[in-house]
A and B are shown apart, each in its own frame.
Chain A
Amino acid sequence: MTTLDISTPGPASATGDAVLSFEGLDVTFKTEFGDVHAVKGIDLEVRPGEVVALVGESGSGKSVTSMTALGLLPRNARINGTVRVGDKTVNALDGKALRDMRGNDVAMVFQEPMTALNPVLTIGDQLTEGLQLHGIAFGKQATARAAELLAMVGIPEPERRLKQYPHELSGGQRQRVVIAMAIACDPKVIIADEPTTALDVTVQAEILDLLRSLKDKLNTGILLITHNMGVVADMADRVAVMLKGDLVETGTADQVLNHPRHEYTKRLLAAVPHLGAGPGQFGDVAAVTAAPEDLPALDLRNLVIEYRRVGKPTFRACDDITLSVAQGEIVGLVGESGSGKSTIAKCALGLIPAASGSVSLLGNDFRKMRGKELKAMRRRIGVVFQDPASSLNPRLPIGDVIAEPLVVHKEGDDKSRRRRVLELLDAVELPRSVYNRYPHELSGGQRQRVSIARALTLDPELLVADEPTSALDVSVQANVLKMFTALQERYKFACLFVSHDLAVIDLLAHRVVVLQNGRIVEQGPREEVLHHPREEYTQRLIAAAPVPEPLEQRRRREARHALLAQLGDDVTELHVEDDYERPQPRQDEGGNASGLGGFMTDAGN
């Protein structure tokens, strides 16, 4: 059984009794395929002004744990043990009391800010409804309060934003709105479920700054659910590591991250790529052997890519891109969402046309080729996509998936194809038994290995990898990266490696190209770009990437704040006025909801 070391001295800011506690929490789901034991009796508590990070990989039960605090699990869940928010026992509350508690005592920040906000209601509507519901403010007061909240989380022109819809805001602003919604009723504890996973790294840093100032200034307790060790190092006072529904280790951030005791924690930490540690973290990357006079594997010259849109001006996704990948070289293409990095990858694959400029593969211009010539060219490029869930045809068994390129190019017979597939399965370290299995029976990491195997089927000279590991858990990512470096050393393919993760690029790439808004900001050898960036944007990007070591991360954070100050930017924080009054529920204009309104209530949880 898991034991939690409660006697661990908490940080100075943590005072008073726990605002959120789980005692012997145990959750089982009844599914059509039998019971799933998601959480197996865990104990955990969060005190005021404290950030407790709940760390684990997908399927570890961390999200399920957090949902019990709001009483929001689906009906097929069976919950044992006690969940307390403040002095309320959540699983003993009835519907009305539970709803009063939600938002008021405990609030939630979700992972995906686009889907967490209702697309058809204005920001103002969504902010004020909580205020009115919990009797904090009504009408104009509520609107004013909502604007105040938006200003607090650092959204400019709050009055105008109130009238806008979620799709009119950027991802980071949406997440700020979600946070504003969470703090609207001044809850004692906020549960942040992967609050920055869907965000770019610079935005992530801002949101983390905001959350940090929130606990400092409002003394709110935060349960931070994440899989990102860098985020943990940046934020957490205490850390709890979850594995398959059990807590395997808890302690202060320093204890857990720097002196892990449990095997799993150690392995988890070892699997995190460390920005600044350079190559060799997961196997050595072979040096580039190509002579300068050799033809580059991929050569993009003044490439422009445009999207035509109905009823709107043409959108220029990429502008004047010039880069080349030498034979056997790995070039990391780095940028935030919308920077055009995937667009360039697709163009290099010939999947979308270029508006102008040239795309050459080993000296042949892609744009001038047609029919057979083009098809023959295509066999020299392999591709790995990001999402393991959609990159394999769900209707084909793995063997067919990997053999597909051979079939398309009419190479070999059934027997030789089978031999090649088995060889590749060995190369990507998958058991040969998956030959007849279907993609849905494989885990994400296994599927991504299949994708890589398929890309290598025809022994390509160039591999285009579009975020191949970003959808994977960190330990799986480490294994895939290890395998990837080994394969690259063996097959010597050139690679255009697209990623938003600087740490991954740091351990893999020979050269790095940094993109912003469809233009190249900076490119050069890895050490130069990542360790001695010249451009402001690259500096910001690197400063914002967290590392999984609390003390180092603190230094980096301070360095980043200094950089921001130097660049003339503000550090994101909660703007609390001196005369800030804590919202108090007040008597509303009417009585309680009557039976008529309640006729739908029991449909809930």
Chain B
Amino acid sequence: MHALIQGIILGVLTAGVYALMASGQTLIFGIMKVVNLAQGAMVILGAYLSYQLFTSFGIDPLLSIPLTTIAMFVLGVAVEVLFLRPLRREDRSELSLLVTFAVALLLEGIMSVTWKTTVRSTNTGYANSSWTVFGYQITLVRLWAFLLSIAALGVLYLLLNRTRFGRAIRATVQNPESARLLGVEASRVSALGFGLGAATAAAAGSVYGLLYPFNSGSHYDLISRLLSIVLLGGLGSIGGAVVGALVVSTSSAIVASAISPSWSEMTFFVILLLVLLIRPQGLFGTTARGAI
């Protein structure tokens, strides 16, 4: 029982960072109908950037987030303009998968040239302190990571709900046709949306680097988790991504503590298959098929 509750606590705390990563990805899908397979690589790049800022200049990852998000926003816009925009409309959804996969490999290659393939982690002073509450251990760094992720999600929420740009994005997600008629310029929304997705990845990456050791190949582990979360929640739904992250990370934490850590990776895949069997559109997705 103790192990179970400890698992749940751990799962909820880690869910924050996954929710952040996944919300960027589901946002990109919502706007552009593109499954961004480079999201994991972007997260790792974000982790490297804040690692570098920390080791070279001593800037705490929590403080470097504004810098890395802006840098990654620009990168995201560039990727959209250079690689996704030129794709022809009729095979865009298919080609964009492969293009973003190629971008992931490109980023992986660049990262492994720049930082080699040795495993890094951002070791801050508070990395190892922890509290014990009612017999349950809560590490400070996990709590920080959780709060930070929630804060970043809050900023994302405000951006989407309180700004003109955010309203344009939400209109596009809900109905691209009428958004276009209302004067929302689809190509601009796509570029900015992809940038926003990348910026989310950067923020998540800073947090991720605090929590886990990583190297350039870590994005492979991330991407399958992220995709499961996004599908689970329903492609394009940010609320769904948050719930999906909670489900995936608590269940794999429980399995890790109750059975064995090596089986926790399997958990999300099993959950994913079950959800797809029962509800192909995901928990919060609206349509299973394209419009008729």
Do A and B truly interact? Answer: no
Interface residues of A (CB under 8 A from B): none
Interface residues of B (CB under 8 A from A): none
